Amino acid sequence: MGNSIWICRICILWVFCVPYIVLASFTPQDCFFIDCGGSKVMKLGDGRVFKPDSGNSNVGLSPDSHAVISDPQVAISDDLFLYSSARVFRAKSTYTISTNQIGRHWLRLYFYPFENPYYDVKSAVFSVVANGITLMYRFSFSNSSKIAPVLKEYVVDLSGTSSKRLSLTLSPFNGSIAFINGIEVVSLPNKQFPSSAMPVPSGPEVEIPPHVAFETAYRVNMGGPLLTPKNDSLWRTWEPDKPYLVNTASARNVSGNPRLIKYPDGVSIEIAPNWVYCTAQEMADANVSDQTFNISWEFAVEHGFTYLIRMHFCDFVSRTLNTLVFNVYINRKSAIDSFDPSSKTMELSAAYFIDFVANLSKGSNRILVQVGPPTLRNFPSNAILNGLEIMKMSNPSGSLDGNFPADFIVSKRPSKKNWVVLAISSASAGFAILVLISVAFFLYLRRICLKKPKDQCSSWLPVPTHVGNSDSKVSIGSSTSTAYSLGLNRILAFSEICKATKNFDESLVLGVGGFGKVYRGVLENETLVAVKRGNPRSRQGFTEFRTEIEMLSKLRHRHLVSLIGYCEELNERILVYEYMAGGPLRKHLYGSNLQPLTWKQRLEICIGAAKGLHYLHTGAAESIIHRDVKTTNILLDENLTAKVADFGLSKLGPTLDQTHVSTAVKGSFGYLDPEYYRRQQLTEKSDVYSFGVVLMEVLCARPAINPALPREQVNIAEWAMNWQKKGKLEKIIDPHLIGSINLKSLRKFGETAEKCLAEYGTERPTMGDVLWNLEYALQLQEACIQTVSAENSANYIPEIPEWLPQTEPGSNGDVGGAHAMSDREFDVASSGVFSQLMDPKGR
């Protein structure tokens, strides 16, 4: 309902306020819109008029080029007409565009390799240089699985040229061709880009030389819709921020009236349209007294470059000045502390922006932007961001694509004589190198064969050799084991997996996760297996795949799912596990028609999972932190024996001289340790917290997070702990347990969960202590069954006819309704966490 209201509000504002979006005071002196290869003038709905490149008095074109037009039967909309024609070049060629002024200009290049009977445009490989700046190096569509139009947007400076002109050179690579569909050159307003910016981490301002070129990496409208060139006076596109939100539950969309947005001195409407400033993402209401999470956006970028990051703010959410104060972080470094937008503008609903410079020369390929509450907690917990722009800056070599200077790309080809000499020399050198490589490879193979038994298969990962303190009934694999032994993780052929799963028959699908689909399969030796096939479009990729193999190759335990083998063939990433007939624990708690678990069964399952986690923390050769403990990662076999699964996010724990592991926050929303989230410091106690959420989920038979419930019940840990502190945990248990659960056993279970969910890791028990307490709770349950009749015992929780309405005032009492919720999961790289405020007591 909330989303529907927001969408309606957006639509109403859109209809009535578009005229206010496009108003602008700036009229560019240079506006060149060029249809490459086209034959007629074409006008777009946003006011741009594209003219053919041939016969254009302002455009100089190399003579050895060819105009190419797509199949006329292909329907081309007004917005895509540019892609219906192209200019093709067989040799290095240059567009020369005469401009009216010097300074910085937008340069937008359009590419789309449509089908053509004369040129294989899709296979074209070429480079592009503009006024000495390398824009693209060996660009090609040939490796793209899905062909779609590409728009590249740059900012280039014309001040260094002897005349007012832009030279755009396209250079085919190694006998290929070059092509382009359209070109835009638009002059920029003064001071659109800064001469200096604040560095991250903080320090003296960094100077930005005027000759530096920019490439638009991202331009994002936080909390608002897609803005097209029709809504921007500089014909820019602003995309919605949802794809980049690390955790959508941590933020909510807010919007104001575009007509009320003010532009104070120093901020023009060309900086960003008012539609950007009238929408934002702000901190979602977590329904807790102490909100400490950040809103996070993550962007993939190319390492080795410096990036200009422009953040747009407009406080239209406050009623008075100086009440919205928050922190801003870039790549986990503080960018601004205790930032108050209204203190900069001295009024509400006023546009403001800040520029930062971040250097990614140390190998990082991600930019993480975060806003969150200030360290000083005398302000309300809230933070906003209205818009964001990330621009790549050209490097000292004058390049925006790798380290290739323009001179290297556009240099003249050697003469024919020199070419022959060069070819012969290269061939000779290549032959010599090939001989040396062959000899080295032969010696390497000979050495390996002398050291290794002939019947031992080589493997991508070493055969596991660890033997720990395990109560496992499965023997450890050895060099004499057969290929089908569960002790050996063998490499499986893709054809073998196809046969086992009947070519991935959809009727054999057991479930779908973030990594991909899981199929039931049967190997040649009649072994039942679960086959997890990676989805190439999944965000979980090679890192999780390799981590899963490396972790499970070291581990063997009765309460850990065994990895039988894996396949990495034909771009496939497939993991093969032992088959768990019972499926995930969650399926037995809610969302299915399975027989409800008894209290004894639930305790035994929790004990089994605790044993598996305890082994990870203390029994393996190196301490391992699972990092994603939840009910979908606890699987059951046909006897309901619990086994912990999914080690794709696992990390080695701290060594003896460490207290924690510093790492990026990953896990699942609703289960994430709040202390780990705040400090990015991972310990075994983070698993303990997640397991505490699992315990409450087992007791109440409802999801960890259920947005459909009343606010006080959304988060199970928060809700259950409120009842635990009142000593009335029995009020919220699964109705199927009423009349069969021993009260002392329940109290011990509740105390254990409460300690697991302590706010700070030092206050939480170890998994060994958790295991001991759960076994004691089981003993209390079994002892009462053996000595007292359930029907007459005062030690049992009796039937409570009115138990559902006995919830907190204001609640609708709909506890059982959670059983029908879908299996919705929020897997995140960094997520907002609900605070758990508790008073832990000793056992």
Q: Where are the alpha helices (DSSP H) in 656-797?
A: 674-679, 684-700, 716-726, 743-756, 767-787
3-state SS, residue 113: coil
Q: Binding residue per annotation — 532?
A: yes
β-sheet bridge partners, residue 384 = 282
Q: How far is CA 105 from CA 59, 154, 189, 357, in A?
A: 16, 8, 9, 21
Give DSSP secondary structure letters for 599-642: HHHHHHHHHHHHHHHHIIIIISSS-EE-S---GGGEEE-TT--E
Q: Tokens representing 456?
A: 């031992």
Cα separation, 233 vs 273, whole angstroms:
8
- Closest of 176, 199, 165, 202 to residue 59, by C-alpha: 165
Whole-Å CA distances, 208 to 193, 334, 393: 9, 21, 9
98-121 b/e (C-beta count within 10 Å ≥ 16 → b): ebeeebbbbbbbbbbbbebeebeb
Backbone angles phi, psi at 541, to 5 degrees: -125, -135
CA 572 from centre of chain: 21
Contact partners, residue 404, CB within 8 Å, separation at least 6: 127, 134, 137, 397
**Catalytically annotated residue among 35, 355, 628, 827:** 628
d(CA 530, CA 564): 9
Rounded Cα–Cα distance for residues 394 and 55 (Å): 33
Annotated active-site residue 120? The verdict is: no
Distant-in-sequence, close-in-space partners of 496: CB < 8 Å, separation ≥ 6: 523, 524
> Residue 656: CA atoms inside 13 Å, Cβ hemisphere, count?
1
Pairing of the two strands 206-207 and 133-139: unpaired
Residue 433: what are its φ and ψ, rounded to 5°? -65, -40
Q: How far apart are CA 511 and CA 698, in angstroms?
A: 21
Per the CB < 8 A criterion, the answer to whether 224 and 255 are in contact is yes
Spatial distance between the Cα atoms of 223 and 201, rounded to a whole number of angstroms: 27
Backbone angles phi, psi at 391, to 5 degrees: -120, 125
- Binding site members for ATP: 532
- Binding site members: 532
Residue positions annotated with a catalytic role: 628
